[in-house]
Amino acid sequence: MPAARTKDAPSELFQTVLLTLAMTGGGLMLFFLVVQFYMVPSVRQKVDTEIATYAGLTKVLDSDDMHRLRAQWEAAQAEGAKDLSLQQIIMDKLEVAGVTHTSLPQPRDRDGAEVRSIRLQPANLGAILRYVVGVTQAKKTVKAVSVKLQRSRGGGDFDATIEFIDHAPPKSS
């Protein structure tokens, strides 16, 4: 008498077919990779060239000379930035970020630090953020105290009021 069919019989057939297809696909992929990387010499040469270039570049950038040059550059940047006033930095970075200002009130003194506010004309958010980052990176002692954004009446642009503080303003002679 023939065996009675169970509910698992169709799923076993499906699992067998699926496993066979997966193993065949995996074998073909492995064969393709072997042919691509080991049998085609031009690809292997390109990979070896790129690996050698990367190793050489890493060696040069990690050398003591490069570390010394980076330290000298940072020291020169810091020394040059000491002489800049907060107003000079604020005005210089306007052009770089592509924004313009509507008002720049007189600076205030807060415990020996110079505080300056600026109101920007409506601009896109990316330009405003580039401006804030540019000003704060120009001199290590300059920080953005507050950034107030308000969507302008036109729609996509923002009105911005930004307050910067310089904890080590240049000494007046």
- pLDDT-based confidence at residue 17 (cuts at 50, 70, 90): very high
Where residue 98 falls (left for φ over 0; alpha for ψ -120 to 50; beta otherwise) is left
**Stronger pLDDT, 82 or 20, i.e. the higher one:** 20
pLDDT at 173: 44
Q: What is the pLDDT of residue 47?
A: 84
Q: Which helix (H) or strand (E) holds 120?
A: strand 113-123
Lowest mean pLDDT among 9-23, 53-67, 73-87, 103-117: 73-87
**Non-local CB neighbours of 100 within 8 Å, separated by 6+ positions:** 94, 120, 121, 123
Q: Is 68 helix (H, G, I), strand (E, B) or coil?
A: helix
Chain-centre distance for alpha carbon 135? 17
Query: Three-state DSSP class for 19?
Result: helix
State pTM to two decimals.
0.54
